[in-house]
Amino acid sequence: MNFIFDVGNVLVTYDPLTFLEGLFPEKPLAQRLYEIVFKSPEWKYMDLGIISHNEAFDILCLHEPDCTTAIEQTMRNLSDIFVPLYDTVALLPVIKKAGHSLYYLSNIHEETRDYLLRKYEFFNMFDGGVFSCDVRSIKPSPEIYRHLLDKYKLSPGDCLFFDDVQENIDAAKKEGIQSVQFTGAECVRPFLQ
């Protein structure tokens, strides 16, 4: 079996609002930055690999000139969002030892991709994977699932996909991939029996 994992909220934490509330104790400012940065078209364009981190920063500041300092602080500290989810990470060697393959499939931009691969050695356990910024396609688009399957010559019926977002699970199922909405490491363990 090929185990396929999303990254954010599956292998590492991804909670932008909590991150922002840590940076900016004033809740209205944290909420405003959440909308400005994480809900912006530019965030999606970074995930698609269309624009760089620096280009996104410039555009966001152009749209919200009164928030330039806060936007800069947010963008500079993005890596603080990502902390390993150790219960899931602990299952990776168990999955490998059981003879299964490991892949990742994530909507992520280049700077975050580079940071995660450099920072966390557990990515070395994976047989491969696809980051959205590398293929200019994001979940739940069918193309990103097909890209992963084609790149590694995987049969959809031999794959098991874990993602915390139901929309991404539904899209994977349409491609014939057995999929489970991730709610914690306990939802993976039954498949290791």
Q: How does strand 178-181 pair with strand 101-106?
A: unpaired
| CB contact burial 29-42 (16+ within 10 A = b; e otherwise) | ebebbbebbbebeb
Residue 111, classed as helix, strand or coil, is helix
Q: What are phi and psi of 165, to 5 degrees?
A: -105, 120
pLDDT in tens, the chain (193 residues): 999 999 999 999 999 999 999 999 888 999 999 999 999 999 999 999 999 999 999 999 999 999 999 999 999 999 999 999 999 999 999 999 999 999 999 999 999 999 999 999 999 999 999 999 999 999 999 999 999 999 999 999 999 999 999 999 999 999 999 999 999 999 999 998 6
Report the predicted TM-score, pTM, of the whole model to 2 decimal places.
0.94
Per the document, the length of the chain is 193
Query: 102 - beta bridge partners?
Result: 3
Give the span between the Cα atoms of 184 and 9, in whole angstroms. Answer: 9
**Please, what is the end-to-end C-alpha distance for the chain in angstroms?**
12
DSSP state of 82: -
CATH 3.20.20.10 fits 2-13+82-192, yes or no: no
